Structure 1
Amino acid sequence: MTDPTPTPGIHHVTCIASDPQESLDFWVEALGLRLVKRSVNQDDPGTYHFFFADEEGTPGTSMTFFPWADLPQGEVGAGQVARTAFRVPEDSLDYWEGRFEEHDIEYSDRFERVIDGPDVDRTTEIVLPFRDPDGLPLELVAVSIPDDDPTVPWTEFVPEDAAIRGFHSVTLWESEPDRTAALLETMGLEEAGTVSADDGPGGQRRRFSASGPVGKYVDLVETGERGRQGSGTVHHVAFQTPTDDDQMAMRSAVREAGLNPTRQIDRHWFRSVYFREFGGVLFELATSGPGYTSDEPLEGLGERLVLPGEFEQRRGEIESQLADVTVPRPETAASGE
């Protein structure tokens, strides 16, 4: 079989929240991401699906949420995405610590991670850990943002020199990481050294690097601790397969590796294939298009409830099941309304 085109990296990460308004307030007002799509869970249309991203919804910047109020609190463990990390500009962590204080966000002291290995140059990254209102473990990683970076910062709440610029990495906790490591290599990621001085179990990660500029890292941590899915945990992580041909080739490679991917599913803004990797983490392959502006103009992203396909015919029924929410605006936030 011909090797598939390597994935450029993470496309989006989808998580579980409890309260939809709290989720909007945190990700839009406190963290400064744009609500680029307000929709519903296509498998459970009585539940919102929020998409938070950069100004244009660039692939590699979308953090999405299902707010399920009736789920218990989750607990991170083996077979889960244990940490989701975002890139922020160098020298912006002082700003973020101040913002976390201002918005009463739980965070920990920043620390250094050292990336080293026989075939890599020793480097250090500065990490600021924090949590969302449901306890979801998150990180900011200070990086140098190149002039040709594809992300477009949204600056309604956070200035450009501090704005989140898409994903840095996800960390997978695995009971037997070697098979997952082989799968990542099948998907085109390359082992890029070990990461020490870590805050997770075992004190060390194996890092894998994709080919793109955003969301390029996946870290593996070995642990026997079991978790449970619920609010404050990741539902799945999606990797970019930009075209349909890329996706079908990757799907074939995943099947040959011994996994059981779904057929292609049309998610309206991208087309998806899902499978559980060997350790139990739910992976998605997602195309780059049609994109979030396929049904709304760029300037109007997130302004209305978008119900794709057949769901539009059920608008009245669906809207009656959804809680009323208000998207934060700078003018109302400043006035305290």
Structure 2
Amino acid sequence: MTSGIHHITAITRKIQANVDFYVGILGLRLVKRTAGFEDADQLHLFYGDGNGAPGTLITFLAWEDGSPGRVGIGQPAEIALSIRPEAIGFWLTRALTLNIQMSGPTQEFGEPVLRLKDPDGIIVKLVGEAAVAGTDPWTATGIPAADAIQRIRGATIFSDQPQATADFVVRHFGFRLVAESAGIRRLAGDAADVLDIRDAGGFWTSAPGTGTIDHVALRAPDRAAVERVAASLRAEQAGATNMHDRTYFYSLYVREPGGALFEYATDEPGMLVDETPEALGSKLFVPGHVLADPDDVRARLPQFSLPGEERMTERDLPFIHRVHRPEKSDGTALVLLHGTGGNETSLLPFGARVAPNATLVSLRGRSMDEGYPRFFRRITAVTFDQEEIGSEAAALAAFIDEANAAYGLSPDKTVFLGYSNGANMLGALMFLHPGIVRNAVLLRAMNVLENVPMADLSGTNVLMVTGQSDPYGPYAADMEAFLERAGASVENRTLPAGHDIGAADVDLVRQFVQRVTG
């Protein structure tokens, strides 16, 4: 049995910072970008050597702006990458020069080790491994071949049952015990990759989230080996296992007795199954089983630029938000505010269909109502928290001013589009801070202000779209009347629909956007 580490998968909060670290600083190659196999709205990036060979792959799931996790028992805790021992000095100097958090060098199991922290706080150990030889170290980033990262050296697993964890890996995955030191059992595979099982008894339990390592994938020679291990796990009643065809490998998942998640993945068919070596990592792969429109999936996924490519840096503004840049911009922009139960990705496909050449800026509401993001809270179905509406409208006005400067948005060529709760916030914003919004689309909107202030909205263009069978539809007339009283130019269209939005809304909004941004 061939044994070793196939890949290590972790979770990041900010994909651009992640790319800058693993490609720009560590010098790995981006070898694959995919939509998630379990959740298509989750970007999954693979980094590795020049050919994306098994044993070199570090992968990240993007939980953009997601909550941080906690490293603890039942979880991988460190990623170890091999370099030549004499390269430690190069990486020490590089870390100091680039202001990377680090510690060391130290000696572990007779090898020099330098620990770095990535932008999410994940520990990456650079290990000076004697006689290491990578298959195709990636040197396109300018790092000398002699100093380049060669491959994965190993991973550290925190376990409060270290003996049981070690025995499980040895029994099922072909590793063997090679050393013990300071509470760590070191297991090695045929490819000289190592798993360090650390006795973490008394430590706190892990919690999933950004800044944590999700799982370690071990190498299987072929699909038959995966199925044999699955059978042995079932015979042992080792817990739930499931097998998947991941296009680039076939694998199973299982948790060891201490709780850490392992994957067992085949080397074949590999990262080159759908791309040439020259184009590796250049296109987004959307799994075939995904039922959503691939274009909608692409619109929802976070964008990033490789080092050296033109980029728009996302700014730290009062609202969590997503910026989606079109391949070819026409200078227009849509600012999107979701409805109850949505988030900053929900309206991106709608916006991309309406204005494919517009920059999209999509916000996440900061209020929580029954566990869902909103822009302000409800008190009853038709009464709302007036104080919160006022404070969040002020925050939104500040966001708009800063976003205009940060992203180069032109107020005359920007259309604000809100759905349901987001539309209601836009309506309130126009009355409380007149002049900020010049073009607005209000989908399934109603007035939520108990006292509507007098405002001058002359020169403001508004499209309201109401569903004929929407239970909130009867309230739209009041909003239209208040807007017209303030001098806005209002077009209120009724569609044969309910509170949901669809293709007919897209057509109406597209015509409006083209007309007002002309």
The interval holding the TM-score normalised by the smaller chain is: 0.7 to 0.9
Measured after TM superposition, the shift of residue 250 of structure 1 is 1.7
Structure 1: give runs of 5+ residues left out of the alignment.
115-123, 196-202
Look up the equivalent residue of 2:14 and give its one-letter code.
D
Q: Equivalent residue for 1:291?
A: 270
Q: Is the 8 A contact 1:61 1:165 kept in 2?
A: yes
Among 41, 47, 65, which residue is 1:52 paired with?
Answer: 47
**Which structure has greater strand proportion?**
1
Which structure has the larger Rg over C-alpha atoms? 2
SS in 2 for 1:74: coil
Q: Is the 8 A contact 1:261 1:273 kept in 2?
A: no
Q: d(CA) in 2 for partners of 1:33 and 1:164?
A: 7
Structure 1 outlier segments of 4+, above 4 Å: none
Q: Which residue of 1 aligns with 2:124?
A: 138
Give the SS at the match of 2:197. strand
| Map of 1:88 onto structure 2 | 83
In the TM superposition, 1:108-257 aligns within 5 A as: 108-114=103-109, 124-146=110-132, 149=133, 151-157=135-141, 158-186=143-171, 187-195=173-181, 203-213=182-192, 216-223=193-200, 224-226=202-204, 227-257=206-236
Partner of 1:102: 97
CA–CA distance in structure 2, aligned partners of residues 211 and 257 of structure 1: 24
Deviates more, 1:217-226 or 1:308-317: 308-317
1:20-47 deviation line (CA, Å, top 9, x unaligned): 1111111101100000001111111112
Indicate the structure with greater helix content: 2
Report how far residue 253 of structure 1 moved. 2.4
Which consecutive unaligned segments of at least 5 residues does structure 2 have?
312-518
Give yes or no for contact 2:41–2:300 (8 Å, CA) kept in 1.
Answer: yes
- Find the counterpart in structure 2 of residue 72 from structure 1: 67
Q: Could you tell which deviates more after superposition, 92-101 or 260-269?
A: 260-269
Contact persistence 1:35–1:52 (CA under 8 A): yes
Q: Show the counterpart of 2:483.
A: none
Instruction: Point out the more displaced range, 103-112 or 31-40.
Output: 103-112
Query: How much has 1:152 moved relative to structure 2?
Result: 0.8
CA deviation vs aligned residue, 1:174-215 (integer Å, no higher than 9, x gap): 0111111111111221111113xxxxxxx43111111124xx
Helix, strand or coil for the counterpart of 2:278? helix
Q: Structure 1: which amino acid aligns with 2:131?
A: I
CA contact (8 A) 1:183 1:257 kept: no
AA of the residue aligned to 1:138: V
Is 1:21–2:16 an aligned residue pair? yes
Match among 317, 325, 328 for residue 307 of structure 2: 328
| 8 Å CA contact retained: 2:134, 2:151 | no
Larger RCO (alpha carbons 8 Å, 6+ apart):
1
Which of 10, 13, 35 is matched with 1:40 structurally?
35
How high is the TM-score relative to the length of structure 1? Answer: 0.87
2:400 aligned partner: none
Give how far 1:311 is off: 3.9
Shift of 1:258: 2.9
Quote how far apart the aligned CAs of 1:8 are.
Answer: 1.6
Q: How far, CA to CA, are the matches of 1:277 and 1:169 in structure 2?
A: 17
Task: Please state whether the residue corresponding to 1:44 is helix, strand or coil.
Answer: coil
**One-letter amino acid of the structure 2 residue matched with residue 85 of structure 1:** A
Measured in 1, the distance between the counterparts of 2:302 and 2:222 equals: 36
Q: Distance in 2 between matches of 1:83 and 1:256?
A: 31
218 and 107 in structure 1: CA distance in 2 versus 1, 3 angstrom threshold: same
For residues 101 and 307 of structure 1, the distance between their equivalents in structure 2, rounded to whole angstroms, comes to 39
Measure the CA separation in 1 of the matches of 2:275 and 2:213. Answer: 27
- Whole-angstrom distance in 1 between the partners of 2:294 and 2:99: 36
Match of 2:464 in 1: none
TM-score by length of 2: 0.57
Asked if the contact 2:243–2:250 (Cα under 8 Å) also holds between the matched residues in 1, the reply is yes
For the residue of structure 2 that corresponds to 1:108, the secondary structure is strand
Deviation at 1:150, TM superposition (A): 5.1
Q: Secondary structure at the match of 1:109?
A: strand
Aligned-partner Cα distance in 2 for 1:279–1:137: 21
| Partner AA of 2:30 in structure 1 | L
Aligned partner of 2:260 among 261, 267, 281: 281
Instruction: Provide the aligned C-alpha RMSD in A.
Output: 1.8
**Number of residue pairs aligned between Structure 1 and Structure 2:** 307
The correspondence for 1:268, drawn from 243, 247, 265, is 247
